Amino acid sequence: MAATPVKEEEFDESVYENMMIPTPVGDFYTVPYRGLLVADVRNDADRFKDATDVLRFLVQHDPRRVNHSQKLIRNGAGDPIVFLQRKMTSLHYRWSAYLGDKESEENYLFTMRMPSGIHKHVKFHIFLPGNLDKKSPDFVVKGEFKDHTYTISHRDVPVAQVMQSSFSSFISCLFMFAVFSPQLVLLQHLVF
């Protein structure tokens, strides 16, 4: 099932008032308001800017690596935030995330995996370190590759949404991120 965009008039802010949403990377990368981010997706790096055109995040990937098996998320100043490593030995599409610029067990943040093979309709499960049984994910990402539309949910409540806005050239397309919960900002990009 494709992610259905939540329209402004349908948005009920009261759903989030008493909801404690975990912050996988840390409270420093959260904001106390809803907002939009625009992503400029390119071969070498994806740039995420806010509505005032200020660079907030940069996601670097080596185009020479198969399936972009490693990614490094940097803040707007260029400092490393999260290192993502695809687990190539896994039967499932699986990524592990670490705080900083390299794989390190003491800096482990979360695992993201696709519960079954690649399909038109995408569904990822995200498990935080405290989720030991891994029966119920902490976050679920649903969407479609074709439409570049995704919704990130925590306990079946949407907390962020990604929608393709336009194509600006052959190698670049623009995405908009609607962050519904002020407690979650950085998790959106991990599905690309």
Q: Give the pLDDT confidence of 3-27 residue by residue, as tens digits.
A: 444 444 455 555 556 667 777 777 6
* Per-domain residue ranges of the chain: 8-22+32-191
- What residues form DSSP beta bridges with 154? 157
CA distance 120 to 128: 26
d(CA 95, CA 114): 9
The number of residues in the chain equals 192
What is residue 25's predicted lDDT score, i.e. its pLDDT? Answer: 76
pLDDT in tens, 45-83: 888 887 788 888 888 876 666 556 788 889 889 999 989
Rounded Cα gap, residues 110 and 83, in angstroms: 11
Residue 75 class from Cβ within 10 Å (0-12 exposed, 13-18 middle, 19+ buried)? middle
CA gap 148, 135 in Å, rounded: 27
Tokens of 114: 């696709």
What pLDDT digit, counting tens, does each position of 138-192 carry? 888 888 756 667 788 888 888 777 766 554 444 444 455 555 544 444 444 443 3
pLDDT score for 189: 42
Q: Is the pLDDT of residue 39 over 80?
A: no
Residue 69: per-residue pLDDT: 79
* Pair 101, 72: CB distance under 8 Å: yes
Cα-only R_g, the chain = 16
Which of the following CATH numbers is that of domain 8-22+32-191: 2.60.40.10, 2.40.160.200, 3.30.565.10, 3.40.50.150? 2.40.160.200
Tell which wins on pLDDT, 42 or 48.
48
**pTM (2 d.p.):** 0.73
Listed in sequence order, the residues at least 6 apart from 107 whose beta carbon sits closer than 8 Å to its beta carbon are: 98, 99, 100
- pLDDT reported for residue 145: 55
User: Does 98 or 175 have the greater pLDDT score?
Assistant: 98
Q: What pLDDT digit, counting tens, does each position of 109-139 carry?
A: 988 888 765 555 668 888 999 888 888 898 8
**Alpha-carbon dihedral sign for residues 87, 114, 72, 68:** positive
